[in-house]
């Protein structure tokens, strides 16, 4: 089963990479208000159920993949 | 002849490059990334560094800086010679002015060392170089692993776009001479009047720095072969 963990900086945390990308997109004439750059991690796991897979993904994010101090995360099943 | 060296936010080899050109007796000046007027510039060098802090992907944001539009235009209309060194190479690939991409070194290391390279096909903007010629240049990068999509490698060789390959000191090409997992040991490629390479010829201008091979190399780019040994 494949799960995806999406990680973004919390909205109150400065994202210099996102700001730089937003600035360049504006220069390229896109009507951009803001950009936030995160990570999208796809994990192939052995799980009995989708609920179990999501629980595992959340634990992975909590303990390793994300830094809960400054990041939020969202886990979804992408392939059963 | 006036060589323009572009400073992007985060470039850090721009002044080294100016210094190297001055050593060769060539007139050069810094260009700011927001500049769009490049009249009177005969050659462009995109220097090494970490433009835009390597945000998003190395070179991706600098590839769309205002000056790049002017450079693209002058390359297509007047075959302006453009040399991208290290981060400059990454910028040219991200802009699509050179084929392929530079990915993180698969061994995960930032590789900083002296490295031999061998000329495969000298680009039209390096008329003084001949195939098989070798140079010793410093390399210093984390995202220097040259890659192309499957099926495109042969085309690169057939089109004479492979400019430099990593080699051992004797000019032999093999896996042990490859510092960063680049496909086919590729260290530099060309497309028309545009050339890019990962190694730093501008850091190889004096024997006391470990190599002065950068002199002959940069002189060839500027069509000044005869002066390459003047020091």
For residue range A5-22, list pLDDT tens digits in order. 999 999 999 998 999 999
Q: What is the pLDDT of residue B176?
A: 97
On the question of pLDDT at B219 being above 90, the answer is yes
pLDDT level of residue A36 (50, 70, 90 thresholds): very high
In chain A, residues with a C-beta closer than 8 Å to the C-beta of B56 are 17, 20-21, 37
Q: What is the pLDDT of residue A77?
A: 97
In chain B, residues with a C-beta closer than 8 Å to the C-beta of A17 are 53, 55-56
Closest chain B C-alpha to A51 CA, distance in angstroms: 33
In chain B, residues with a C-beta closer than 8 Å to the C-beta of A29 are none
Q: Does B94 participate in catalysis according to the annotation?
A: no
Q: What is the pLDDT of residues B84-127, one digit of tens each?
A: 999 999 999 999 999 999 999 999 999 999 999 999 998 889 98
**Does B55 contact A20 at a Cβ distance shorter than 8 Å?**
yes
Q: What is the pLDDT of residues A40-66, one digit of tens each?
A: 999 999 999 999 999 999 999 999 999
ipTM score of complex: 0.75
The percentage of residues in chain B with a pLDDT greater than 70, rounded to a whole number, is 97
pLDDT level of residue B225 (50, 70, 90 thresholds): low
**Does A21 contact B61 at a Cβ distance shorter than 8 Å?**
yes
The percentage of residues in chain B with a pLDDT greater than 90, rounded to a whole number, is 92
On the question of pLDDT at B231 being above 70, the answer is no
Closest chain B C-alpha to A38 CA, distance in angstroms: 10
Closest chain B C-alpha to A40 CA, distance in angstroms: 13
Q: What span, in angstroms and rounded, lies between the C-alpha atoms of B134 and B129?
A: 10
Q: What span, in angstroms and rounded, lies between the C-alpha atoms of B118 and B56?
A: 32
Among residues B43, B86, B93, B212, the one annotated as catalytic is B86
pLDDT (average), residues B183-191: 98
A75: its two tokens: 């886990």
On the question of pLDDT at B229 being above 50, the answer is no
Q: What is the pLDDT of residue B127?
A: 84
CA-wise closest residue to B139 among B170, B180, B190:
B180
Q: What is the pLDDT of residue A80?
A: 87
pLDDT level of residue B133 (50, 70, 90 thresholds): very high
Closest Cα in chain A to B58 = A17
On the question of pLDDT at B164 being above 50, the answer is yes
Tokens 């007139």 correspond to what residue? B27
Alpha helix positions (H), chain B: 14-23, 66-78, 87-95, 153-158, 213-221
Closest Cα in chain A to B59 = A21
Q: What span, in angstroms and rounded, lies between the C-alpha atoms of B184 and B175?
A: 9
In chain A, residues with a C-beta closer than 8 Å to the C-beta of B65 are 24, 27
Q: Does B86 participate in catalysis according to the annotation?
A: yes
Q: Which residues pair with A73 in a beta bridge?
A: A7
Of B56, B65, B66, the CB nearest to A17: B56
* Helix, strand or coil, per DSSP, at residue B218: helix
**Does A24 contact B53 at a Cβ distance shorter than 8 Å?**
no
Q: Does B202 participate in catalysis according to the annotation?
A: yes
Could you count the other beta carbons within 10 Å of the beta carbon of residue B208? Answer: 7
What's chain B's length in residues? 231
**Does B53 contact A16 at a Cβ distance shorter than 8 Å?**
yes
Q: What is the pLDDT of residue B123?
A: 87
Sheet strand arrangement including A2-9: A39-44, A2-9, A71-79
Of A16, A27, A37, the CB nearest to B66: A27
CA-wise closest residue to B198 among B109, B43, B92:
B92
- Do the beta carbons of residue B50 and residue B87 sit within 8 Å? yes
């Amino acid at each position: 089963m494949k799960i995806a963990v999406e990680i973004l900086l919390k909205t109150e945390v400065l994202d210099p990479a996102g700001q730089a990308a937003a600035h360049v997109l504006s220069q390229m004439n896109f009507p951009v208000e803001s950009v936030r750059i995160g990570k999208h991690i796809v994990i192939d796991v052995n799980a009995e159920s989708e609920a179990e897979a999501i629980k595992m993904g959340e634990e992975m994010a909590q303990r390793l993949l994300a830094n809960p101090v400054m990041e939020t995360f969202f886990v979804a099943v992408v392939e059963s | 002849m006036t060589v323009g060296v572009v400073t992007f936010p985060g470039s850090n080899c721009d002044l080294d490059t100016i210094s190297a050109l001055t050593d060769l007796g060539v007139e050069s000046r810094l260009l700011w990334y927001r500049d769009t007027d490049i009249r009177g510039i005969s050659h462009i060098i995109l220097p090494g560094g970490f433009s835009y802090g390597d945000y998003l992907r190395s070179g991706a944001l600098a590839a769309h800086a205002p000056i790049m539009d002017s450079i693209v235009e002058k390359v297509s209309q007047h075959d302006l010679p453009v040399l991208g060194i290290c981060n400059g190479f990454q910028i040219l690939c991200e802009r699509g002015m050179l084929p392929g991409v530079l990915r993180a070194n698969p061994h995960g290391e930032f590789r900083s060392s002296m490295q031999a390279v061998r000329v495969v096909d000298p680009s039209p903007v390096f008329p003084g170089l001949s195939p098989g010629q070798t140079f010793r240049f410093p390399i210093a990068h984390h995202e220097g692993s040259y890659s192309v999509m499957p099926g495109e490698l042969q085309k690169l060789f057939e089109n004479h776009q492979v400019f430099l390959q990593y080699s051992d000191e004797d000019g032999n090409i093999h896996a042990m001479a490859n510092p960063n997992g680049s496909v086919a040991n590729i260290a530099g490629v060309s497309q028309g009047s545009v050339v890019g390479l990962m190694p730093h010829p501008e850091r190889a201008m004096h024997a006391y720095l470990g190599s002065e091979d950068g002199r002959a190399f940069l002189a060839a780019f500027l069509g000044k072969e005869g002066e390459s040994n003047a020091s």
